[in-house]
Structure 1
Amino acid sequence: MTEFIKTLDISALEKGRSLSQDAAARLRKNKMAMASLYFLLLLIAIAIMTPWIAPYSYDEQDLALAASPPSAQHWLGTDTLGRDQLTRIMYGSRISLMVGFIATAVALTIGVLWGAIAGFLGGRVDAVMMRIVDALYALPFTIFIILLTVIFGSSMLLLFLAIGAVEWLTMARIVRGQVLTIKRQEFVEAAISMGLSPWRIISRHLIPNVLGPVIVYTTLTIPSVILLESFLSFLGLGIQPPASSWGSLISGGVETMEEYPWLLIFPGLVLTITLFSLNFLGDGLRDALDPRASKD
């Protein structure tokens, strides 16, 4: 027996992995998701460093150039006021990504808390809270946001809050469904029997156990928020000049697409690649966080 133990190759034994390590390993095997992740990290880094690496100021004009095609001095050309298009897109990424992340954070906070409280308390509280969600679903949200921007002005902060305030409904339904599934499990019943308060159970036991679906849906909410901001900017109700977002650049490019197609092609291409990357990453996270995806 002693000789057998000595000859046993301990290193050949497979080490156990936590759920997060297992999910990370599955995510790394998804080439599209990893490529999307690297692209998004690069885009975020560029957005943060834009004031220091942009070739020109975002409002610097050269009327003598007017709208000129891509050249060695202006890689993506200039707009009708002679402003460098690459610089405008880089500064636009700061606003578009900021809208995407901040508005999604607002939607995430409201939706997770609303859904967790409704699912855990149940009964009449759940019925009333979810009927409110159903009623809000029936409202034309785009018109609601347009009315807010018309009444209170095109404030960037208002845009963040308005978009976030109408994007939380689906999140609330997802979290409620997950909470209804797990609230009867033994660890929740044990917490109840110990006399823990409902808020402590929700915050310490329920919400951490629904983070998987929440993370996945968050990655899918960010592109929808960016697209909504682009739509509002396209209508002239979003970011106002001289500041720019991808949506406002696309709006300006549409007006002159026949004469100066590069003003539409480049911001539209960046927006499209970003939206695809966020969706690919969301799909990869969904597969990675699904325990049934494990082949072990």
Structure 2
Amino acid sequence: MSNFDFQNETNNQSLNDGVKKNNNLTGTFNVELNDTLFKFVDANDVGKAATTLAGKPRLLIIDIIKRFCKNYISFFSLILILSISIACLIIPSVSPFGATTPLTNIDVNWIKELPPSYSPIVTESLNSNNYEFLMKIAHENPDLKIINSTIQINNEFLVTYNKYLFLEAYSQQNINSLLGTNTQGIDIWTRTWTAARDSITLSFLVATTDAIIGITIGSVLGFYAGKWIDTFLSRIVDVIINIPTLVWFLMLMTIVGKANINQFNLYLILISIGWVYMVNNTRLWMITVKDQEFILSAKAVGCSTQRQIFVHALPMVIGKLATTYVRRIVIVIMSISSLVFLGFLDSKSDPNLGTLLKEAIPLLDINFWGLLLPALILLFFSLSAQFVANGLHDALDPKVGRGK
């Protein structure tokens, strides 16, 4: 046999062995199909197994709250704002004095510009009639050491005496003004917290209304940037913004009339101007997200335009808008105070922080609390609101959470 024939025979033998092995291997996979291979699977068991493997789904609001609470400065600022708000509600309710009426119905000359109750000794220059009346009350109440010293200067008497003991003996009432009274004899402590309550409430309502109107219009304009509706409304917003706010206040107050200014009319005047700022900010942020992939995907699957705007796009920019919203609250408080200082809003029956700051000017050399307390409330509220706004921005922005 030649070498060539021997090689062919060897190759044929190897091929036959391979076919036999394949046949044997194929035979091992011939599995009989029966009912035991087809069983119904409980969906609850599958869900439990998937939950065990991947963990329970987390709610978005829970994640936002956790991220906000991890920012200790913002969390402490929120507690401070809540404390101020609670104090504004409780203190005027439990105070024995009113915010717009004098301490008592006695002669207002005796109860105006009272010192704080922790420092009741005063030195005043009295005319002969007032001095005689003071001496009469002191002699009728010998158990109370009312007068400390007296110096006569011509027809005037320089008397050092306990003002609160004198008022208690005179009015037969327990008068205890914690921080004293203003020039109208009204308790500074009660009036300040009442004014803070009214100012914060009004500014919160104005900022919320501005946000609802401005975010709604701004979201639509941002999504339709370049369209005729965006061009038309944007020009109106530009006109309102470019004219100074004070000019708008003057025009609107002239229309309403200074005598008709009350809390509701002031609310209408403020929202008629403030909504444009929320429109501008919302429009700019919506332009940055309207062409991103998730919006295009929502459009591709057939989502309506309203759903694309308010369900998909708006949540992505709400953190930025929260900062503007909180700042708007502080801006409204400052705007009201500015109107009081300029004399366009003289609300003695409905006091606000601007009214208190204006009333405190004559008391600077007598009682510093008239200016210090409303200034501290305004300062702490403004700073805390800014920190809360920054914390909300970080908590609502998922990119910030991933970056930490």
Deviations 1:238-293 (A, max 9, x none): 36112211111001112442344322122112111111111121122223333343
Residue 202 of structure 2 corresponds to residue 87 of structure 1: no
Residue 237 of structure 2 corresponds to residue 144 of structure 1: no
How far has the Cα of 1:104 moved from its partner?
A: 0.4
How far has the Cα of 1:58 moved from its partner?
A: 1.4
Report the equivalent of 1:274.
Answer: 381
In 2, Cα distance between equivalents of 1:230 and 1:30: 32
How far has the Cα of 1:219 moved from its partner?
A: 1.2
- Identify which range, 189-198 or 145-154, moves more after superposition: 189-198
Amino acid at match of 1:96: S
Q: Which aligned runs of 4 or more in structure 1 are off by greater than 6 angstroms?
A: 13-16
Amino acid at match of 2:116: P
The RMSD of aligned alpha carbons is 2.6
In 2, Cα distance between equivalents of 1:210 and 1:290: 8
How far has the Cα of 1:93 moved from its partner?
A: 1.6
Report the equivalent of 1:257.
Answer: 364
Structure 2's unaligned 5+ residue stretches are 1-51, 119-175
Q: What percentage of aligned pairs have identical amino acids?
A: 29
- Structure 2 matches for 1:12-51, cutoff 5 A? 17-51=58-92
Q: Which residue of 293, 301, 325 corresponds with 1:218?
A: 325
In 2, Cα distance between equivalents of 1:98 and 1:109: 17
Is the 1:239–1:245 contact (alpha carbons within 8 Å) kept by the matching residues of 2? no
Deviations 1:33-56 (A, max 9, x none): 112111111222233334522231
Amino acid at match of 1:151: I
SS at match of 1:21: helix
In 1, Cα distance between equivalents of 2:347 and 2:87: 22
Is the 1:230–1:246 contact (alpha carbons within 8 Å) kept by the matching residues of 2? yes
Residue 148 of structure 2 corresponds to residue 102 of structure 1: no
Is the 2:319–2:395 contact (alpha carbons within 8 Å) kept by the matching residues of 1? no
Is the 1:149–1:158 contact (alpha carbons within 8 Å) kept by the matching residues of 2? no
Residue 340 of structure 2 corresponds to residue 237 of structure 1: no
Bigger fraction of residues in strand? 2
Is the 1:120–1:179 contact (alpha carbons within 8 Å) kept by the matching residues of 2? yes
Is the 2:318–2:396 contact (alpha carbons within 8 Å) kept by the matching residues of 1? no
- Identify which range, 21-30 or 71-80, moves more after superposition: 21-30
Residue 282 of structure 2 corresponds to residue 175 of structure 1: yes
Report the equivalent of 1:66.
Answer: 112
In 2, Cα distance between equivalents of 1:195 and 1:167: 36
Report the equivalent of 2:229.
Answer: 125
SS at match of 2:79: helix
Report the equivalent of 1:6.
Answer: none
Aligned pair count? 286
Question: What is the TM-score when the length of structure 1 is the normalising length?
Answer: 0.85
In 1, Cα distance between equivalents of 2:101 and 2:194: 13
SS at match of 1:71: coil
SS at match of 1:177: helix
- Identify which range, 193-202 or 257-266, moves more after superposition: 193-202
C-alpha spacing 1:121/1:213, structure 2 compared with 1 (3 Å): same
Max Rg structure: 2
In 1, Cα distance between equivalents of 2:230 and 2:377: 42
Report the equivalent of 1:4.
Answer: none
SS at match of 1:74: coil
Question: What is the TM-score when the length of structure 2 is the normalising length?
Answer: 0.64
In 2, Cα distance between equivalents of 1:66 and 1:99: 29
Report the equivalent of 2:147.
Answer: none
How far has the Cα of 1:200 moved from its partner?
A: 4.6
Amino acid at match of 2:389: G
Is the 1:99–1:229 contact (alpha carbons within 8 Å) kept by the matching residues of 2? no
Q: Which residue of 238, 241, 245 corresponds with 1:134?
A: 238
Amino acid at match of 1:28: C
Report the equivalent of 1:55.
Answer: 96
In 2, Cα distance between equivalents of 1:60 and 1:288: 45
C-alpha spacing 1:194/1:286, structure 2 compared with 1 (3 Å): closer
C-alpha spacing 1:68/1:14, structure 2 compared with 1 (3 Å): farther
In 1, Cα distance between equivalents of 2:114 and 2:375: 18
